[in-house]
Amino acid sequence: MSFTRAATTILTGFLVLQLLSSCGILKLTTPTRRQYTKVKKYPKDKPFVYTNEIKVVNNKLSKDSLTLLEDGLETQLDDSMRLTVKQSWIVLKRLEQPAAFDTTYANQSARNMEIYLQTMGYFNGKVSVDTVLDSIFRNNPDRLQKRVATKFTVNTGPVFRIDSIALIPNDSNRFQINPIRELTIQHNSQSYLRKGMPFSEELISLEMNRLIELYRNNGYYNMTRDAIYADVDTVFLALLDPTLGFDPIRQFEVFQEAQERRKNPLINVYIRTKPNLKDSIFRQYYNRNIVVYPEFKGGEIVDSVRYIDSARNNITVRFQEGKFKPAFIRRNLRLRTDSLFSSLKVNQTADELNKLNVWQVIRIQPKIAVDDSSSIDYDLFLIPYKRFTFSTNVESVFNQVQSALATAGNLVGFGVNFGLQDRNIAKQGIQMNNSVRAGIELGLPPINSGLQATELTFSNSLTSPRIPSWLFTRKSRRWLNRKTFLTSSVSFIDRNINQNGLFALTTVSSTFGWQFQTPRNAIWRLSPVNIEYVKLYDISQSFQEQLNSNVFLRNSFNQGFVLGNINANFTKRFQNKKKLNHASAFRINFEESGALFGRLKKVIPLFDKELFEYVKTDAEYKYQIYRPGTAQERWIFRGAIGAGYLYDNDTSSMPFFKQFAGGGPNSMRAWPLRSIGPGASVADIRTGRNQFFSRSGDMMLEANVEYRYDILSIWPNTLILRGALFTDIGNVWNFRNKSNIGNDTVVFKLKNLYRDMSVSVGTGFRLDFVGLFLIRVDIGYRLKNPAYPYVDVNDGWRVPKVSMSNLFGRSDANRNWRYENINISLGIGYPFQW
């Protein structure tokens, strides 16, 4: 059985079960009968807990809010009311060791739920309990089961909404509170609390955490969560006005308002400091002395070791061997002396030192100065890595080549890899990684015995933990994760030794630039120099014939020279403060080649013959919504757009290796990689099992929606089977040039956008080895195929005729149906990584 048929067989079975499960078809509604396929270790001759149903009575809640509330209420079940359900094969559920039913525990669960309702702003909520007892297998005493179905009816009542908010009010007239009150007012715009929002203790907790973080980042070292508390009030103060009885009109208005507040109750929120706090809680602390031990060995008593001190601006670096320059260490400290204490700066310092990859252990210890009660001193203990790391490995492979492209028979290859890392060049944390790979390939008799190929590759990367502030801005000194990088590689492959092979190939690449992260967590990567050069030469006659006849092979060995001065990448993530389970990310990339060096074509022959001149940009936006309380159940939305233009040559499109490609496990999953587009061009005819595709374009539009959820916990917290339902929409196109004049099927035109868009749906299965890696299998079904001849009918919309013979048949017609309608892709990790 071929891979496609075998995979289709397995996935179709899983798909049926998955759809039945996700659509609720297999969910039984009878309270006590056949909720589970089996009940194990239940109490004999005693009623036991079989099901718990929670019914929320509130028609004003959205679906998401209702699900969130039900999930929260379920957590309030008493331990003796909880059920342990084991699931296998997606739909088979087994109830294990149910507890004996006791009305005491059911009533306690109801009380717990009422308390939980209050934390969510439903202060008038009530919960009632109803039970149904049913006996199963009555005629068989050994199998008799007394099942109890419990139903909790939750009448939430109206939710209380926030009316007025007072953060750190000084109603006790304590002068110590005034500074933090002013600080709070300055940052009120960042508050999680807004008038009219539904009240919840979670929001109050978030707001209190925000305030503590604000204070500790502005010098209040001793301020902790224990120093503040939340006070809420539902009293309508106007009713308590003693003069209300003397003004009938005012009395009528107040009573009317009180009646309205019963329908739409309001609550006042106050976050106050606790009384009788020590004065040190309200004291602002300043950083004074910072002592760094960059060669700390761990476990040693610093007072018993002789150090060489280097002090500047109250920052002292204490050495034993002088492995690091003091300026390098000071430059990477976010902490500054004579500035207010900030827990954010402490965390940033630890993060920056860790990213330098120079120290394996970083410990920062702030402490109140002994001789100054308003100052903070720091000790930084840094345990370094070994400076040099050397690695080597040997590999071998045997390949019995059967491809028609091969000119050799049985091949055996040997390769050796050497790596050398230096973590601390010039004592400034400058890191260099060098790797060398050498390999040979031998042919075994009777075909072309002897040496067939050689390979030699050298790669180098140099990274310095700083960027030139004179080139950017003075504020760049506050940026995080600053790096200047230079990467280079050169590769020589000779597969035409003794003129009886294929070709020789030289590849050279080099990139120079900077990377940094701004205070608002925007990540930039800028490369003023980007070089890519591919040279194919010493081509044998047989290989030249293969290039002439095979488009994919010819494009794969596309030669040319890329020399760019502008290569920029920007990435930023956003967190929705109002909806904490919503997040988004945006990325944009721009690159060019030849804008400057293309002007030298007349001077440098290499530029004139082989330099590509183009501009290219692409952008991607991702948005996710996850279900609170679950780790993996979430919606993923993605949109991507990109375009490139080759402006020095109006007879061809962008170079193949710089074009956009659709299909594959991370794009349009109902199509194999490079098999879609450009536009509505003619579809490739199926030629065999190992078919190659070479479709790409100068422009790309794509949109994806995916719903992810858990299916089965095979090994809790270790191995989990997850599922997904998805739809993909998009295509690639070319821009108009002399090579495609008169061929509107491949050229992007707005009037043809609907015709050219492809649409697919599908499902996926992900085997998650938690914390290690994830293996993904996606199966996509094509609903709209823009390729000719399909687009001639109904703009390409077509519902695949699914039948057993089409899915599993071995005839050419069945194989053609699978080739034209479905695709199975294998991937590692999630698509559209966050």
Please list, in sequence order, all residues whose beta carbon lies within 8 angstroms of the beta carbon of residue 107, skipping any fewer than 6 positions away.
129
Contact 145, 39 (CB under 8 A): yes
DSSP 381-432: EEEEPPSEEEEEEEEEEEEE---TT-S-SEEEEEEEEEEEEEEEETTTTEEE
CA distance 668 to 352: 39
The identity of residue 402, as a single letter, is: Q
Give 147's contacts (C-beta < 8 A, 6+ positions apart): 32, 47, 48, 50, 51, 133, 134, 135, 136
Six-digit token string for 57: 């009575």
Q: Are 627 and 582 in contact (CB under 8 A)?
A: no
Q: Do residues 283 and 340 make contact, with C-beta atoms less than 8 angstroms apart? A: no
From 593, 641, 653, 663, select the one nearest 823 (Cα to Cα).
Answer: 663
How far is C-alpha 355 from the chain's CA centre?
20
Residue 637, both tokens: 């939305």
Which residues have C-beta within 8 Å of that of residue 347, sequence separation ≥ 6? none
pLDDT score for 91: 61
- Residue pair 329/428 in contact (Cβ under 8 Å)? The answer is no
Residue 229 pLDDT > 90: yes
Taken in order 658, 662, 663, 667, the sign of the CA dihedral is positive
CA-to-CA distance for 563 and 509, rounded, in angstroms?
A: 10
Predicted pLDDT at 789: 85
Q: What is residue 727's three-state secondary structure? A: strand
Peptide bond into 43 cis (omega under 30): no
**Other residues' Cβ atoms within 10 Å of the Cβ of residue 91:** 17
**Given this model, what pLDDT does residue 733 score?**
92
Spatial neighbors of 146 by CB under 8 A, at least 6 apart, are: 45, 46, 47, 48, 133, 134, 135
Output the pLDDT for position 26. 34
| Token pair in block for residue 689 | 């099992």
Cβ-based neighbour number of residue 503 at 10 Å: 18
If you average pLDDT over residues 136-146, what whole number do you get?
A: 85
Residue 286 and residue 219: Cα distance in Å, rounded?
Answer: 6
Q: What is the pLDDT of residues 776-795, one digit of tens each?
A: 999 999 999 998 888 888 88
Residue 599 clears pLDDT 50, i.e. is over it? yes
Taking the C-alpha atoms of residue 573 and residue 637, their distance in angstroms, rounded to an integer, is 14
DSSP states of 809-822: --SHHHHHHHHHHE
| Least confident segment among 62-76, 520-534, 622-636 | 622-636
| Phi, psi torsion values for 45, nearest 5 degrees | 60, 20
SS3 514: strand
Model confidence at 834, in pLDDT bands (50, 70, 90)? low
pLDDT for 4 = 52
Half-sphere exposure of 76 (CA within 13 A, CB side): 24
Q: What percent of the chain has pLDDT over 70?
A: 87
Q: Give the model confidence (pLDDT) of 541-596 as tens digits.
A: 888 887 787 665 676 677 888 998 889 999 999 888 777 788 999 999 999 998 88
Q: What is the mean pLDDT of the segment spanning 8-13?
A: 50
Q: Is the model's pLDDT at 705 over the cut of 70?
A: yes
Output the pLDDT for position 402: 46
Cis peptide before 789 (omega within 30 of 0): yes
Instruction: Answer whether 390's CB lies under 8 Å from 423's CB.
Output: no
pLDDT reading at 424 higher than 80: yes
Phi/psi for 309 (5° steps) reads -95, 140
Work out the pLDDT band at 221, boundaries 50, 70, 90: very high
Average pLDDT (149-177) is 89
Residues 6+ apart with CB under 8 A from 467: 476, 479, 482, 483, 484, 514, 516
Section 721-737 average pLDDT: 90
Which stretch of DSSP H or E encloses residue 202?
A: helix 201-216
State yes or no: pLDDT of 707 exceeds 50. yes
Judging by DSSP bridges, how do beta strands 410-425 and 161-167 pair with one another? unpaired
Question: Which sign, positive or negative, has the C-alpha torsion 311, 312, 313, 319?
Answer: negative
CA distance 417 to 395: 8
Distance CA 552, CA 554 (A): 5
Closest by CA to 492, choosing from 440, 542, 449, is 440
Q: Helix 343-355 crosses helix 201-216 at what angle (to 10 degrees)?
A: 80
Share the mean pLDDT of the chain: 85
Strand partners, 568: 526, 590
pLDDT single digits (tens) 68-120: 899 899 999 999 999 888 766 556 778 888 999 999 999 999 999 999 999 99
With a CB cutoff of 8 Å and minimum separation 6, the contacts of 259 are none
User: Is residue 25 over pLDDT 50?
Assistant: no
For residue 147, which of 129, 133, 167 has the smallest C-alpha distance? 133
Q: How many residues are present in the chain?
A: 834
Spatial separation of the C-alpha atoms in residues 262 and 200, rounded to whole Å: 19
Q: Which long-range contacts (CB under 8 A, 24 or more apart) does 254-260 make?
A: none
- State the Rg of the chain over Cα: 34
Q: Look up residue 582 and give its two tokens.
A: 């919503």
Whether the Cβ atoms of residue 666 and residue 692 lie closer than 8 Å to each other = no
pLDDT in tens, 251-301: 556 556 666 667 788 888 999 999 889 999 999 999 999 999 999 988 777
Measured between alpha carbons, how far apart are the two ends of the chain, in Å?
37
Q: How is 525-556 classified by DSSP, letter by letter?
A: EEEEEEEEEEEEES--HHHHHHHHH-HHHHHH
Token pair recorded at residue 368: 């109140």
pLDDT at 171: 73
Query: Is the confidence at residue 406, as pLDDT, over 50?
Result: no
Residues whose CB is less than 8 angstroms from the CB of residue 441 and which lie 6 or more positions away in sequence, other chains included: 411, 412, 413, 451, 452, 453, 454, 455, 495
Q: pLDDT over 90 for what percent of the chain?
A: 50
Could you give phi then psi for residue 163, rounded to 5 degrees?
-100, -65
Residue 772 CB neighbours (<10 A) = 8
Q: Look at 249 and 700; give whichever has higher pLDDT.
A: 700
Query: What is the rounded CA–CA span in Å between residue 32 and residue 146?
Result: 9
Dihedral angle, C-alpha 39, 44, 48, 50, nearest 10 °: 20
Distances (CA, A) of 713 to 133, 486, 628: 31, 45, 19
Q: How far is CA 126 from the centre of its chain?
A: 40
The whole-number pLDDT of residue 407 equals 47
